[in-house]
C-alpha cells in the first residue's frame, strides 16, 4: 500500500471519529433545543473547527510515525535522507492529479446532492435543523467518498 493511501486512510479514520463525536453529542441530552438554530449553528461551527484540528494533529502524528518507521526500516539516522525518501514517495505526478480530480468530482457531487436534499427537505416543511444536519452529513459523506475514491484509484493503478 502506498504512503498516499495510508495517509488517506488515516485522514478517513480521523474524519469518522470527528463525525461520530458530533453524532454522539447531537443525540445526547447536552445538545441544544431543536428550535434554537443559533445554538446549533454555534455547535456545528465548533465541531467543524475541532474536526479541522483533529485532522491537522492526526497528519502531524502520521508523518512522525512514518518518519520513524522509515528510519527503522532503512537503518537511517540522517534526517535529511529520511525527508528525501518521504518527499519522493509523496511527489505528485499527472496520475495523482487525475486521481485527485476524479475523487474531488465525487465529493463535490455528494455536496451538490446534499444541498438539493436540504432544499427539498425545507420545501416539504421539515425543520430547518433537519436541513442543517443534511448539509453537515452530506459534507462529511463527501469527504469520506473523496478519500475512499482516492484510495481505490491509487491502489487500483489508475
Instruction: Provide the residue ranges of all domains of the chain, joining segments of one domain with +.
Output: 3-156
pLDDT band per the 50, 70, 90 thresholds, residue 76: low
- Is pLDDT above 80 for 87? no
40-50 mean pLDDT? 96
- Is pLDDT above 70 for 158? no
Give me the pLDDT at residue 126, please: 95
Give me the pLDDT at residue 67, please: 84
Neighbours of 102 (CB within 10 A): 16
CB 12 within 8 A of CB 158: no
Distance CA 78, CA 96 (A): 28
- Is pLDDT above 70 for 10? yes
Cell numbers found for residue 28: 445526547
Among residues 102, 145, 144, the alpha carbon closest in space to that of 14 is found at 144
Q: Between these two residues, 28 and 73, which has the higher pLDDT value? A: 28
pLDDT band per the 50, 70, 90 thresholds, residue 75: confident
58-84 mean pLDDT? 82
CB 15 within 8 A of CB 140: yes
- Is pLDDT above 90 for 14? yes
- Is pLDDT above 80 for 9? yes
143-154 mean pLDDT? 93
Amino acid at each position: 500500500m502506498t504512503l498516499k493511501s495510508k495517509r488517506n486512510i488515516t485522514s478517513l479514520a480521523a474524519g469518522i471519529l470527528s463525525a461520530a463525536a458530533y453524532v454522539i453529542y447531537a443525540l445526547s441530552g447536552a445538545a441544544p433545543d431543536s428550535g434554537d438554530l443559533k445554538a446549533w449553528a454555534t455547535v456545528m461551527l465548533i465541531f467543524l473547527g475541532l474536526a479541522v484540528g483533529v485532522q491537522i494533529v492526526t497528519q502531524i502524528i502520521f508523518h512522525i510515525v512514518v518518519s520513524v518507521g522509515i528510519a527503522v526500516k532503512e537503518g537511517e539516522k540522517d534526517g535529511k535522507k529520511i525527508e528525501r525518501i518521504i518527499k519522493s514517495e509523496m511527489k505528485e505526478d499527472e496520475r495523482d492529479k487525475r486521481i485527485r480530480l476524479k475523487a474531488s468530482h465525487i465529493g463535490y457531487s455528494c455536496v451538490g446532492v446534499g444541498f438539493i436534499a436540504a432544499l427539498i427537505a425545507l420545501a416539504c416543511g421539515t425543520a430547518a435543523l433537519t436541513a442543517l444536519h443534511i448539509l453537515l452529513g452530506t459534507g462529511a459523506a463527501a469527504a469520506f467518498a473523496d478519500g475512499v475514491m482516492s484510495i481505490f484509484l491509487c491502489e487500483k493503478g489508475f
